[in-house]
Chain A
Amino acid sequence: MRSARTAVAAVAALLLASTAAEAADSPLPVRIRVLQGSRQGTPGVPPGLEDLRGQLSATAYVRWEQAGEVQASMLPKKPVSVALPGGESVTVTLIESRSGAATFEVSAPASRTQSRVTVAPGKRIVQQVTAERGGSAWFVTIRAGG
């Protein structure tokens, strides 16, 4: 009987330890890409953006180009600044990561827009970060997990 109780206690301790470890803040690998979308021009998505084709094709922008990329191991509340062509920037902050879902806050001074997005694992955020000018606009895409 004592052995059985010991075994049950050990299993419970392992589960608690696992839960605690999961709850602890740990760096989250995040891939942030800077894209330019245009309404005019030859429609196309570069090979490097094939994984985003499903989302990009849902917009009115037909021509896409990647202008930059940042890969970072993000910690909660530690903002990462992403530069846009033209000198502007976007700030991406990981608010929390829990049970695989990640919550990001994207602050885009250029468009005076701020968003807070929670996405499940494997999902990507595509956000327009500048107002459209002359038929084109800048976007950032965020994917947790690199």
Chain B
Amino acid sequence: MKCAGAAPLLGSRPGELDPTEEAALSAHLSSCEACRARQADHEALARVVENGLLGEAARRDFSAFADGVMARIPAATWRGAPAPGLLGRVLELLRRHRVLATASALAPALAALALYLYIGRTSGTGPLEFSVEVTSEDLAPMVLDTSDGPIILVGEASDGT
């Protein structure tokens, strides 16, 4: 490897070069003083930049960062949401899951309706047990009420019938 080929590789970050490039660069640096000097300059510059960034970061106060993010989330997603609290969170949950909330609200009503229809179809203990209307030209009908249903009696035949 010559200096022209080694120049782009100088100052590379650890792990940035593949093993072949790393071996070639290492071999070149062992025999080229000028490139070793450039490499040393790159490393010194990297250390200066790194220390400068860390120092700048250390001077910044990030203590309010998390609070600021959390404060902006409701404003962006709730759109005039209610006051924070248990009720507010429940309402927010209902807003986010409208279908589920609707189904949950309808389910008891539908269950009650189904039960009402079922009882109406199958039960014989409703208000209507039976109703009877009987007409006879020459007999005297009589209706007996029993728990199993009505009994309609018309009596004996009169003479001549």
Per the CB 8 Å criterion, the residue count for chain B at the interface is 42
**Could you say which residues of chain A place their CB within 8 Å of the CB of B74?**
none
Count contacts between A and B, CB distance < 8 Å.
123
List CB contacts (< 8 Å) of A1-40 with chain B: 1, 3-4, 7-8, 11, 15
| Contact in complex: B98, A4 (CB < 8 Å) | yes
Does any Cβ of A come within 8 Å of B86's Cβ? Answer: no
CA gap between A132 and B156 in the complex, in Å:
4
CA gap between A131 and B134 in the complex, in Å:
14
**Could you say which residues of chain B place their CB within 8 Å of the CB of A116?**
132-133
**Could you say which residues of chain B place their CB within 8 Å of the CB of A58?**
144, 146, 151
**Could you say which residues of chain A place their CB within 8 Å of the CB of B123?**
120-121
| Contact in complex: B150, A126 (CB < 8 Å) | yes
Q: Is the interface of B mostly helix, strand, loop or mixed?
A: mixed
**Could you say which residues of chain B place their CB within 8 Å of the CB of A117?**
130-133, 150, 152
| Contact in complex: A111, B136 (CB < 8 Å) | yes
Segment among B11-19, B25-33, B59-67, B99-107 that sits at the interface with chain A:
B99-107
| Contact in complex: B139, A112 (CB < 8 Å) | yes
List CB contacts (< 8 Å) of A88-140 with chain B: 99-101, 108, 111-133, 137
Does any Cβ of A come within 8 Å of B77's Cβ? Answer: no
Does any Cβ of B come within 8 Å of A73's Cβ? Answer: no
**Could you say which residues of chain B place their CB within 8 Å of the CB of A100?**
120-122
